[in-house]
Chain A
Amino acid sequence: MQDVAVVSFAQSTSFAPDPLRNEVELLLPVMNEAVERSGIPKKEIGFTVSGSCDYLAGAPFSFVSALDAVGAWPPIIESHVEMDGAWALYEAWVRLQVSDIDSALVYAFGKSSIGDTNEILTLQHDPYYVAPLWPDPVSIAALQARALLESDGYSESDLANIVARSHKSAMSNSSAQRTSETSVEQLLSAPYTVSPLREHDCPPVSDGAAAVVLATGDLARRISERPAWIAGIDHRIDSHSLGARDLTSSPSAALAARNAGANQGPVDVAELHAQFSHEELILRRAIGLDNGTAFNPSGGPLCANPIMATGLIRIGEAASRIMDGSASRAVAHASSGPCLQQNLVCVLEARDG
């Protein structure tokens, strides 16, 4: 296997709506910042891959215009996934295994504010039986939250605890959109959005972009003092049919975590793509994380959720904790689809020498 490491990460400050900048203008400074930090000249990067969604952008082939930000001349080797940027990173990792190139640029972007995500995300359901009923993502998430609370001895206080911790952690993250020091009691006094979920149990609408630079073995060691090595990465998927799944668990997250080797050592930090507070409880159990792990020190998706970039940001944040020396081993998780249908787990670690 070719050793691959995250050597730099950049993200925009999440907010919405951004009425001035289009997607390319949002992406350009972030991408250039990540490339500059990596120390690799842009023209020497071997592979470029992005994650975005035409439904979110409201335009066909919207990722093509994003290439205006890349500088794709002379022609570059480039790819795109209609998925969160975390899956673009997975493609880059696979591409780097071929070993003919030693670096890759991964980016993701989305302006959730230009459409109604409650409507857009509905269209990811089965087009015959489910999508025509227009079940919005908050209601679908609430079904899962209710199933979890009723069957596993969790309470709404457990959800509020996650929210309180996330908002507080986000205070040290300049890219976060929601930050606060709020008590569990205050949170529980807020009205329901869709019971048992309150507004703070759901992610904000965010416009944003993120970029990660990957490098292999010697190059990574040369340009980075402390690269965040990818020790394992895997992604798995559960049935699209919600009725065919036990919504209180996530077999695909558990399998991806096992294949990525999440439990082959202590986990200092976990950045989880839990867009709704209850999802963190399911993911902790599926991945096998205990209280020795710091969960979402960035604040997580509850505090900034630029759809299509949120998963890539988890990898970037976890890698940053390795690169800045505050963690030695970290787990990053990305998710796609309703109720944590598809899950990617990436294990990152520091290595001596």
Chain B
Amino acid sequence: MTEPRTEPVRKIRTPIRLDYTMTAGEAQSRFLRQIANRKIFGQRCPECEKVYVPPRGSCPTCGIATRDEVELADQGTVTTFCIVNIPFAGAAVEVPYVCASVLLDGADITLFHLVQEVPVDEVRMGMRVEAVWVPPEERGPTLQSIKHFRPTGEPDAPYDAYKDRM
């Protein structure tokens, strides 16, 4: 018996859905709880003394636990940035906008956030910025408690002040 000629089977549907209950972890949970209170906490490595923010509970360079908490200013320096011109679905801000690495004063690694309240072509490396927090009733354990960063108007930080923390 020969099989009738048919179209090849090109596709099958096998819907898969898995649910997880994630854990932020001890270090990140503390960071997130603090940011709901308008405070930014990093952790200092006991060995190399670098301050990590947001902290992950360990120093990825030394491979040891970081326990000492350090409260950081909500001001910092733009170490690098890009101007986003491509809109994507669900984006909360209109193009063009600036994404920047912000080195908070007292930290050794940069935090990723938006820089607004300034024309995009005026954003530059070394620009001093400060956090703009959302109103208290909107704050929660999320980086969205910071709406964006904006220029402070201070003189730019010299390149040497952040060149090792890009």
A20 with B29: CB separation less than 8 A: yes
Interface pairs (23), CB distance under 8 Å: A20-B23, A20-B29, A22-B23, A22-B28, A22-B57, A24-B57, A25-B58, A25-B65, A28-B65, A32-B63, A32-B64, A67-B60, A68-B59, A68-B60, A70-B60, A71-B60, A71-B62, A114-B20, A114-B22, A115-B19, A116-B18, A120-B18, A128-B14
- Does the CB pair A18–B63 fall under 8 Å? no
Tell me the chain A residues, 16-54 only, with Cβ under 8 Å from chain B.
17-22, 24-25, 28-29, 31-32, 42
Q: Mark B14-27, 1 if CB is under 8 A from A, else 0.
A: 10101111111111
In the complex, which of the residues A25, A111, A113, A123 contacts B57, with contact meaning CB atoms closer than 8 Å?
A: A25
* Residue B61 is within 8 A (CB to CB) of chain A in the complex: yes
Question: Cβ of B12 < 8 Å from any Cβ of A?
Answer: yes
Q: Which residue of B lies closest to A58 (CB)?
A: B20
A69 proximal to B (CB < 8 A): yes
- Which residues of B lie under 8 Å from residue A31 when comparing CB positions? 63
Bound form: Cα–Cα A131–B64 in Å: 41
A115 touches B18 (CB 8 A): yes
With A28-B65, A58-B20 known as contacts, the answer to whether A68 contacts B14 (CB < 8 A) is no
Interface string of A52-67 (1 = CB under 8 A from B): 0001001000000101
Are A71 and B23 within 8 A (Cβ)? no
Closest to A207 in B: B23
B23 touches A18 (CB 8 A): yes
Complex partner residue of A119 from B18, B21, B61, B63, CB under 8 angstroms: B18
> Are A21 and B25 interface neighbours, CB within 8 A?
yes
List B residues 43-70 near A (Cβ within 8 Å): 56-65
Q: Is A72 an interface residue (CB 8 A)?
A: yes
Measured between alpha carbons, how far is A111 from B21 in the docked complex, in Å?
10
Q: Judge if A132 is at the interface, Cβ distance under 8 Å.
A: yes
Rounded to whole Å, the gap between the CB of A32 and the closest CB of chain B is 7
A113–B20 CA distance with the chains assembled, in angstroms: 9
Residues 288-315 of A contacting B (Cβ, < 8 Å): none
Any B CB within 8 A of the CB of A127: yes
Number of interface residues of B (CB under 8 A): 25
Q: For residue B61, which residues in chain A have a CB less than 8 angstroms away from its CB?
A: 71-73
- Do residues B14 and A21 form an inter-chain contact, with CB atoms below 8 A? no
- Supposing A58-B20, A115-B20 touch, asked if A25 and B26 sit within 8 A by C-beta, the answer is yes
Overall SS of chain B's interface: loop
B23 in contact with A111 (CB, 8 Å): yes
Q: A42: nearest residue on chain B (CB-CB)? A: B63
Contact (Cβ within 8 A) A24 B12: no
Q: Interface SS of chain A: helix, strand, loop or mixed?
A: helix
> Chain A 78-117, CB within 8 Å of chain B: the 1/0 string?
0000000000000000000000000000000001011110
Whether the Cβ atoms of B14 and A24 lie closer than 8 Å is no
Smallest CB separation, A164 vs chain B (Å):
33
Complex: chain A residue closest to B65, CB-CB: A28
Q: Is the CB of B63 within 8 A of A69?
A: yes
Q: List A contacts of B59 (CB < 8 A).
A: 68, 71
Chain B residues positioned under 8 Å from A115 (CB to CB): 18-21
Query: What residues of B have a CB within 8 angstroms of the CB of A67 in the complex?
Result: 60
CB nearest to B27 among chain A residues? A25
The 8 closest A-B pairs by CB, nearest first: A71-B63, A22-B25, A58-B20, A132-B14, A68-B60, A73-B61, A115-B20, A68-B58
Say whether, besides A28-B58, A68-B56, A69-B58, A131 and B14 are in contact (CB < 8 Å). Answer: yes
Contact: A21 with B26, CB < 8 Å?
A: yes
Q: Complex formed: what's the CA distance from A32 to B47 in Å?
A: 14
Q: Which residue of A lies closest to B24 (CB)?
A: A22
Which residues B1-42 have CB closer than 8 A to chain A? Answer: 12, 14, 16, 18-29
Docked CA distance A265–B20 (Å): 46
In whole angstroms, what is the CA distance A128 to B10 when docked?
Answer: 12
Hey, what's the 0/1 contact readout for B69-81 against A, CB within 8 Å counting as 1?
Answer: 0000000000000
| Chain A residues whose CB sits within 8 angstroms of the CB of B28 once the complex forms | 22
- Are B21 and A114 interface neighbours, CB within 8 A? yes
* CB closest residue in chain B, given A128: B12
Please judge, given known A-B contacts A24-B56, A28-B57, A123-B16, whether A71 and B22 are in contact too, CB under 8 Å: no
A25, B24: Cα distance in complex, Å: 10
How distant is B47 from chain A, measured CB to nearest CB, in Å? 9
Residue-by-residue, is B129-146 near A (CB-CB < 8 Å gives 1, otherwise 0)?
Answer: 000000000000000000
- Return the chain B residue nearest A31 by Cβ: B63
Task: Tell me how far the C-beta of A229 lies from the nearest C-beta in chain B, rounded to whole angstroms.
Answer: 28
Query: What CA separation (Å) do A70 and B56 show in the bound complex?
Result: 13
B48–chain A nearest beta-carbon distance, Å: 9
Q: Which residues of A contact B63 (CB under 8 A)?
A: 28, 31-32, 42, 68-72
